[in-house]
Amino acid sequence: MSNPGWFAAIACAVLILAVNAAIWGVVSVAADGLGRNHVAGVRLPSVMRSDETWVAGHEAARKAMRPFLIAAIIVIVISIPAQLVPVFYVVLIGLSLACTLGGLVAAAVSASRAARRVTSAP
């Protein structure tokens, strides 16, 4: 196995950073006032019930996913020089993607829980 080269490693890092930035942007905009919609955001049934559950869910999602996305960014930046050791590079790419996926799962769980708390409040 040979290393992918600096250009490929940087391009891959930029692509993963762009995906993480897009995810963060959508959740942040939804938490800051983007109304309920069927296009962007956490669209779980519990979050879609009302505008209040939408905002509460996205605020919780933003808090839950922040550490995961920060970890994904750190790992992907470290992966650029690690491309000189191909096996280590592949592991770091996988770890970065796992952090992103973990952030999405944590966001969904937190959003649903926060939305259900709003729904069940008197």
Tens digit of each residue's pLDDT (9 = 90 or more) over 78-105: 999 999 999 999 999 999 999 999 999 9
Burial class (CB in 10 A: 0-12, 13-18, 19+), 5: exposed
What are the tens digits of pLDDT across the range 13-39?
999 999 999 999 999 988 887 788 778
Helices and strands (DSSP H and E) totals, the chain: 3, 0
pTM, full prediction: 0.86
Would you state the pLDDT for residue 122? 59
Structure tokens belonging to residue 37 = 């919609």
Neighbours of 76 (CB within 10 A): 24
All structural domains of the chain with their residue ranges: 6-120
Distance CA 44, CA 51 (A): 13
